[in-house]
A and B are shown apart, each in its own frame.
Chain A
Amino acid sequence: MDTLRTLKTNPAFVPTTPKRAVGATALYIIQRLGLHAIVWLGAITMVLPFLWMFSTSLKTQGAAMAYPPVWIPNPPLWSNYIDVVNRFPFGLFALNSLKIATLGTIGQLASTSLGAYAFARMNFPGRNVLFVILLATLMIPGNVTMIPTFVLFNKFGWLNTHYPLFVPSWFGGAFGTFLVRQFFRTIPQDYNDAASIDGAGHLRIFASIYLPLAKPVLATLALFTFMNHWNEFLLPVIYLTDQDKMTLTVGLSYFQLQYTTLYHYLMAGTVLSTIPIFVMFIALQKYFVRGIVMSGLKG
């Protein structure tokens, strides 16, 4: 968990350490204890809903509906998970989600890094205007483009297929292009000059200098894109109709419609859909932090 230390702690905010009086030391200890109490209370509030989800997923239907609430199911009913997988094709949903998220992520990395290189290191007429237009598209709500895009994909005959869910990611995007471009601009121009004296063209410089150096930022972008595709809900709701094509998020919401009162099953399904993304977050959290820090700050 300690990779979130990439953000340093700031000593300026540490209470001044008074060594003079006993009273001041006592006050300091009380302050520190209070501080820890607040931070703990907040952490518990953040985690409690997830613990509740997990606990409910292991209950009998009776215990799930019990009042006052049962906190720790005894005995834990692990068979709920087997029941859920037997009733609803969660494995298939997970495969669909994985396919869409992987294809979308690959396309997004390829298209945005190429575009980012052009914006960062190449001269062409209209560069700045185009970049501003691209950034301005961040203001356009998805609701505006959703209807015409649906009509377009309908013309392509892509309704009830996975294409509409990942193909747009193959064609760039403001957030990714901006993120990678910002990173490319931190690579010294001297590398370009040296390489072009050696006779390398832009394509060569991009592929053998910029891409390898940009691994961390590409990892960050990959993570965000993957997570967004995995968690996406509106698009699969609009485009997918067959159950065997559904993703985990939509599958889960249909599951809810069918088993409204079977909360122990519903929570087991929610656990199944959440675990992969949590595991990924815990394993790769420093890239999450870096992405937010980079996109949020260096405007």
Chain B
Amino acid sequence: MTYQTQRKSGWLTVTRRRKVQEAGLAYLFLLPTLIGLLLFTMGPVIAGFLISFTNWNIFLPPQWVGLENYQTLVSQELPHKVFWNTLYYTALNVPLNMIIALGTALLLNMRLRGVAFYRAVYFLPVVSSTVAASLIWTWLYSPNFGPINYFLGLVGIQGPPWLGSTTWAMPAIIIMSVWKGFGTNMLIFLAGLQGIPQELQEASMIDGANRWQRFWRVTWPLLSPTTFFVLVISSIASFQVFEQVFVMTNGGPAYATTVLGLFIYLNAFRYNNMGYAAAVAYVLFALILAITLAQLKLQGRWTHYEL
């Protein structure tokens, strides 16, 4: 009997030792990931939060100022404008991008000659760098020599000065961003459309549903998880828009296109206000968190998961 129990516990320690060994090896495999998580993500998130309570120009030691940076942010007018500019950009960019992406995905999901070629062409702007695309579009928007205003002139419209106008600079950046970015979402939608079982489409066709009904009753509900995913990632990306604004307008004219991403960059690396920039970055973080959580919460109301 003693022999029995001894043997049993011996077995136990062997399996436990194996488990410990495996866990140790797993952490070894994950070592780069863990270091990265601590050094480049979690650490900076905490450090950034602390920096946001200081006055710091990076050369002298930081001074603790409590909530001063956040108070400045609330009381001054410019951060408000920057905040609204960012919302304006996101509120137009995300829906436009998604509608065009879904529309082209539906088109390019049909049996068309050369469909693969078209898909590649629609995706091309995604591959180019935002800097290159911004330089091209700055030129396209040129009020005096640019082809956009030339085409508008052909149909009798006097084109606006686009990037030089406080009213039109932001729409101009949004148009360029939609052109540049919708290809990714188009491919995600295409993949989603392919995941919809053929039988359902065929069954609804036999039942006499027209194309409009088929879209709203079959495709749209079954595509809703994809739509939700696209909505979340597009919103997160939109709130961080930076490069096209930096290159095309540098935030102007008269701060009409200064978005949070640019405002943070300017404060941190041009004006050396690390503390204030960190505070603005945290507001952006809170905004993204709030919007993402709201979307997660609301998704049950309109998304449909097939089980």
**A96 interfacial contact with B, CB 8 Å:** no
For the complex, give the distance between the alpha carbons of A5 and B111 in Å: 11
Contact with A along B204-242 (1 / 0, CB 8 A): 010000000000000000000110011000001001101
| Inter-subunit contact B123/A288 (CB<8 Å) | yes
| Inter-subunit contact A1/B116 (CB<8 Å) | yes
Q: Output the least CB separation between A109 and chain B (Å).
A: 11
**B83 interfacial contact with A, CB 8 Å:** no
| Inter-subunit contact B145/A2 (CB<8 Å) | no
> Which chain A positions have C-beta within 8 A of B73?
none
Q: Output the least CB separation between B304 and chain A (Å).
A: 15
For the complex, give the distance between the alpha carbons of A151 and B269 in Å: 11
For the complex, give the distance between the alpha carbons of A149 and B41 in Å: 9
**B91 interfacial contact with A, CB 8 Å:** no
Interface residues of B in 103-151 (CB under 8 A from A): 104, 106-112, 115-125, 127-133, 135-137, 139-140, 144-147, 150
For the complex, give the distance between the alpha carbons of A289 and B292 in Å: 26
| Inter-subunit contact A148/B43 (CB<8 Å) | yes
Classify chain A: how many residues form its interface, as a range: 35 or more
> Which chain B positions have C-beta within 8 A of A141?
236, 239-240, 281, 284-285, 288
> Which chain B positions have C-beta within 8 A of A39?
107-108, 112, 118
> What DSSP secondary structure best describes chain B's contact surface?
helix
Contact A151-B47, Cβ < 8 Å, known A39-B112, A49-B133, A122-B22: yes
**A53 interfacial contact with B, CB 8 Å:** yes
Contact with A along B20-46 (1 / 0, CB 8 A): 001101110110110111011101110
> Which chain A positions have C-beta within 8 A of B163?
none
For the complex, give the distance between the alpha carbons of A176 and B122 in Å: 25
| Inter-subunit contact B33/A149 (CB<8 Å) | no
| Inter-subunit contact B247/A115 (CB<8 Å) | no
Residue in A closest to B133 when the chains form the complex, CB atoms: A49
Partner of B128, one of A12, A115, A201, A274: A274
| Inter-subunit contact B44/A149 (CB<8 Å) | yes
Contact A227-B127, Cβ < 8 Å, known A124-B26, A263-B139, A274-B132: yes
Contact with B along A190-233 (1 / 0, CB 8 A): 00000000000111001000000000000000000001001101
> Which chain A positions have C-beta within 8 A of B127?
227, 277-278, 281, 288
Contact with B along A123-147 (1 / 0, CB 8 A): 1110100100110011111111111
**A38 interfacial contact with B, CB 8 Å:** yes
| Inter-subunit contact A293/B191 (CB<8 Å) | yes
For the complex, give the distance between the alpha carbons of A84 and B277 in Å: 37
Contact A292-B122, Cβ < 8 Å, known A148-B47, A274-B128: no
| Inter-subunit contact B288/A152 (CB<8 Å) | no
For the complex, give the distance between the alpha carbons of A258 and B68 in Å: 39
Contact A139-B22, Cβ < 8 Å, known A114-B32, A145-B48: no
For the complex, give the distance between the alpha carbons of A53 and B133 in Å: 9
Q: Output the least CB separation between A140 and chain B (Å).
A: 6
| Inter-subunit contact A143/B124 (CB<8 Å) | no
> Which chain B positions have C-beta within 8 A of A13?
106, 109-111, 201
| Inter-subunit contact A147/B281 (CB<8 Å) | yes
| Inter-subunit contact B242/A234 (CB<8 Å) | yes
Partner of A172, one of B37, B136, B190: B37
Binding site for B on A (CB under 8 A): 1-5, 7-14, 16, 35-36, 38-39, 42-43, 45-47, 49-50, 52-53, 56, 64-69, 110-112, 114-115, 117-119, 122-125, 127, 130, 133-134, 137-152, 154, 168, 170-173, 177, 201-203, 206, 227, 230-231, 233-234, 237-238, 248-249, 252-253, 256, 263, 266-267, 270, 273-274, 277-278, 281-282, 285, 288-289, 292-293, 296-297, 299
- Given A9-B109, A67-B145, list of 17 further CB < 8 A pairs? A52-B139, A114-B29, A115-B32, A130-B30, A139-B288, A141-B240, A143-B281, A144-B282, A147-B278, A151-B47, A202-B25, A231-B129, A233-B131, A237-B246, A238-B269, A277-B129, A296-B192
Q: List 6 A-B contacts (CB under 8 A).
A: A11-B111, A38-B107, A140-B285, A145-B45, A172-B30, A292-B187
Closest 3 A/B residue pairs (Cβ): A171-B36, A172-B33, A12-B201
